[in-house]
Chain A
């Protein structure tokens, strides 16, 4: 039949275009380069670029040992860590939005933030001297928070995973854990400043250690999330229709929530609570590159890394040598931007 022959126009579909990917990569690369050249210690951007070139080609370094240490043991690991944390939070946010079909979902929705906050507070109050204890406790706390929400949501919806019940369970768990956290903090006001500064988020730690802690969780989680892109596109038609297409919505949701929560917990453990990245970046990516999760998830990783590196750059240089809390920067830029996104969407769909 002549009418049934395929035309290229009819079969055009949303795929991640190489142009978008290359542009996003270039922007990230440029951001990293600019970031490496700027810092509290003025090393001079030509000398930094010269040093990078020397390291790549095996030439002689133009920097003193001290300067090289500042660059490679302080500045670069911090930039890489900012990128990894940003990528994790943004991608986890996008995944949560897909799995709950809710544009306002963020990585902290299911109690990860409250759990991490409680863990960090407990350790700061009771084990103040133990190094590395805060990230560990925050990591465990975040996973416990999400786990509690999941169990509560499952039992309240009688076995099936009802997304509305799960979200409400997240609200309940968040409120409960936050109440405990506030109570413990009020009993121990001497540590309030420490806890508060952790909660506002920041990457003002040193060296490659944090990265070695977080990356083994974040990297595989992000790979899993990117592989789930098509399944999330199918879930967009609702659980029932997705099931009629041979997909098991419960299983997809479990895998995605697990991976996204793992990435979030690892990010929170090294950076504290940094808001808005998980909401703002995915929405910007949707506006610029397309709404299919096969596009949104990978591009969000690059966009999240870029956004966080810029935010951390502002945090460490705007009032140098004093540092601003990273969460303040992301919310300060993120909140108005979010309003802007909402405004443009309103105009588009009105």
Chain B
């Protein structure tokens, strides 16, 4: 579904990420992880066509640089880390913006577009909030509204930049479950950046670890999330544990001064 070959992205002549090659099958979930400033968001934006990139990015076997902006928007949905929520705009109007790539330049929404939006709102349990102003929503409701807008695009590839930003652990879990449900029901491919490594381990089927603008590890969560790699690239003291159900947990470990000395 998504294939990157030797992709460099960022400012012209001064790429933030370099030499990224990765393959995500249809229906897969790739989580891009890495320390702050590693270039996670830049890579995601490069796939969305929002920053300058070299190398080839193929979505559904089509090179994205050959697509028009509108064609690309029909294939790729993108939600940024901090979405701009226009003041005074209702949830319905906001989600309707997701239909933009399916409309002519000056066209207005058809009945089909309204039905798609109504369906998405129902699916994300947003029907009761449809008429509310975006700015009056809680953090979890906002993230769901943004997800609804991206889903209304009906793109086969979802790029989610830190979708759990600002959410407590329960809301974060609910949102990721929702994304996973959409993925399994519709066969949508998901690429997300996630700073929470436990969530990354539990939801993604493949991880890409970036550090200082390059890929340092890639593969199944258990292969990438090793104490050695995390110590090296995050400069972090962690233990990789297992829950009673056998799922990976990345737990920070605090070394007491005595232990450090001794």
Interface residues of B in 112-142 (CB under 8 A from A): 114-115, 117-119, 121-123, 127, 130-131, 135
**Counting CB contacts under 8 A, is B63 at the interface?**
no
- Pairs across A and B, CB under 8 Å, 25 listed: A6-B119, A7-B118, A9-B130, A10-B117, A10-B121, A10-B122, A11-B130, A12-B131, A14-B93, A227-B106, A230-B106, A233-B93, A237-B85, A237-B94, A237-B97, A240-B80, A241-B83, A243-B49, A243-B69, A244-B48, A245-B97, A245-B153, A286-B88, A290-B88, A291-B87
Instruction: Check: B108 CB closer than 8 A to any chain A CB.
Output: yes
Q: Chain B residues near A294 (CB, 8 Å)? A: 108
Residues of B30-82 at the interface with A, using a CB-CB cut-off of 8 Å, are 45, 48-50, 68-74, 76-78, 80
B130 touches A6 (CB 8 A): no
Complexed CA–CA distance, A14 and B90 (Å): 8
- Of the candidates B72, B83, B88, which one forms a contact with A237 in the assembled complex, judged by CB atoms under 8 Å apart? B83
Instruction: Please provide the chain A residues from 243 to 296 with a CB less than 8 Å away from any CB of chain B in the complex.
Output: 243-248, 286, 290-292, 294
A4 and B93 form a contact (CB under 8 A): no
Q: Given contacts A246-B73, A349-B87, could you give 4 more A-B pairs where the C-beta distance is less than 8 Å?
A: A240-B45, A241-B84, A245-B73, A246-B100
Q: A241-B78, A292-B93 are in contact. Are A4 and B131 (CB under 8 A)?
A: no
The 4 closest A-B pairs by CB, nearest first: A246-B73, A6-B118, A246-B101, A246-B70
Flag whether A238 is at the interface (Cβ < 8 A): yes
Bound together, the chains give a CA A13 to CA B108 distance in angstroms of 12
A231 surroundings in chain B (CB, below 8 A) = 105
B97-A6 in contact (CB<8A): no
Question: Which residues in A have some Cβ–Cβ distance to B below 8 Å?
Answer: 3-7, 9-14, 227, 230-231, 233-234, 236-238, 240-241, 243-248, 286, 290-292, 294, 349
Determine the distance from Cα of A349 to Cα of B88 in the docked complex, in whole angstroms.
10
- Contact between A6 and B106 (Cβ–Cβ < 8 Å)? no
B92 within 8 A of A: yes
* Beta-carbon contact of A291 and B101 below 8 Å: no
Q: Is B170 an interface residue (CB 8 A)?
A: no
CA distance A285 to B188 in the complex (A): 42
Cα–Cα, bound, A4→B93 (Å): 19
- Bound-state Cα–Cα, A236 to B123, Å: 25
Centre residue among A231, A245, A286, A294 by max chain B CB count within 10 A: A245
Contacts A236-B86, A238-B84, A243-B49; A6 near B69 (Cβ below 8 A): no
| A231 and B77 alpha carbons, distance in the complex (Å) | 18
Chain B residues with CB below 8 A from A14, complex form = 90, 93
Question: Which residues of A lie under 8 Å from residue B92 when comparing CB positions?
Answer: 10-13
Instruction: Tell me the minimal C-beta distance from B71 to chain A in angstroms.
Output: 8
Residue of B nearest to A291 (CB): B88
B224 within 8 A of A: no
